[in-house]
Structure formats: structure tokens, C-alpha cells
Amino acid sequence: MVTAGGGEAPETALAAVQRAHRVCTRCVDAGLLDVANPVFSGHAGQRILLVGQAPGPVEHDLTRPFAGRAGRQLMRWFVRAGVAPEEEVRRRVYMTAMTTCFPGRTADGRGDRRPSAREVALCSSWLDAVIGLLRPRLILPVGTLAIGRFVAGRGLDECVGRLFDASGGEVEAAGDPPAVFPLPHPSGQSRWLNDAAHAARLDAALARLGGLMAWAETP
């Protein structure tokens, strides 16, 4: 378990966790990855936390979350939510993932491999530490792997456009933080948005997202 020293200022404690995270080699040491290169971005004071599945090859090379094609789609979603440009999104949103190293390609080479349960478990304390120190008011899990961490046992059809509390229960409006607002993954590998009803559900979610972000950042 990763913890910060008692009595440290939040920004000091978070910076210490980030430094330790940057040099993490747990999955390499366990024989699960060939190369470790943790990818995340953010700073103390951000009240919105976005959690994806894992970095892709572009993110691995640039060491910046959502820097590739899926990231460009995600940024277009934020524009539809009334948040732009990309620099503004990154200024307001802490970005990390269920596993923060690129897991590699699938065996057939047609996409990126979904991280294993063991990889998720090895990386989980980094996410726990960020949540504990950042204390986000709004958590945006992106894709089914991240959604399962915060809203267990529900699929995309049951989650997208709906708001949940910290225990995973559905709520009508944001109350005691953190509020959890799931989004589908913007990757082209996902076929969920090919259904017109699902696309309409995303439209409704994005219409709600800007207001939730403003709520999260209200003192």
C-alpha cells in the first residue's frame, strides 16, 4: 500500500507519490510486462479525476495520458460538454488509468491488450493513493474496466449518463462527494457507440458533464 507521510501538505504528499509511481516496475518484476513507463498527469488541487483503462503506444512514447487517437476523441467529447480547448481540460482534470503502463498489443495485433486482473491489482495502490490525496469531488471512469472499479456489476447501458455515489448507488443529483459519472471508452476498438440508442445516451451524458464539472470545482 502506498501512503504519504503524516502532516505533509497535500501537494507535497502527492508529488512524493507521483515520483515513486514514475519509477514503479512492479509488473516488470512480476514478469507481466517487458518495459515499465507509468503514464499519468495532474497536480494537487484538481477536483476532477478521470480514470481510463491503460495507456496506448502513443501515450507510452509521449508519457501523456490520452495523447493518441482515443484521446483526440475524448477531447472532442469535452468540447461537446462545453469544455475546451484541450489545455483547459488538462488544467482541470487529473488523468490516470487502472494500469498506467502500456500493456502491449493483442496477440493478433489488431488492438491494445486489456490489462490482466493481476496487473490491475499491482497498480491499484497508486490509484488509491491519488484518490486519498486528491480527494476528487467528481470521478469520471472511462470504459468498462474503470467503471467496474467504481460502479461494480453494471454495464455501459446501465451507467452512461447516470450519476452514482461513492458506494456505487445511483443518485439523481450530486451530493456528498465524490460523485461518479461513467463514460464509454473513446477508443475505436469499442463498438458500443455504433448503436444509435447508445450514441443518444452519450449525447445526454455530455450535456450533463459540464455542469457536473462546475459543481465539482465550486468551493
pLDDT tens for each residue of 76-123:
999 999 999 999 999 999 999 999 999 999 888 888 999 999 999 999
Q: Which domain holds residue 62?
A: 10-216
Confidence of residue 10 (pLDDT cuts 50, 70, 90): confident
Residue 3, in any domain of the structure: no
43-56 residue pLDDT tens: 999 999 999 999 99
Residue 196 has pLDDT above 80, yes or no: yes
Q: Are 101 and 55 in contact (CB under 8 A)?
A: yes
Give a yes or no: residue 1 inside a domain: no
- Identify whether 93 is part of a domain: yes
4 is a domain residue: no
Residue 4 has pLDDT above 60, yes or no: no
Taking only the tens place, the pLDDT of each residue in 123-182 is: 999 999 999 999 999 999 999 999 999 999 999 999 999 999 999 999 999 988 999 999
Within 8 A by CB and 6+ apart from 135, the residues are 10, 177, 178
pLDDT at 23 over 60: yes
The 3-class SS string of 68-137 reads CHHHHHHHHHHHHCCCCCHHHHHHHEEEEECCCCCCCECCCCCCECCCCHHHHHHHHHHHHHHHHHHCCC
Residue 136: inside a domain, yes or no? Answer: yes
Indicate whether 5 belongs to any domain. Answer: no
CATH number at residue 201: 3.40.470.10
Residue 76 lies in a domain: yes
pTM summary value: 0.94
Domains in the chain: how many in total? 1
Domain assignment of residue 23, yes or no: yes
Rounded to whole angstroms, the Cα distance separating 75 from 217 reads 19
Dist. CA 4–CA 46, nearest whole Å: 18
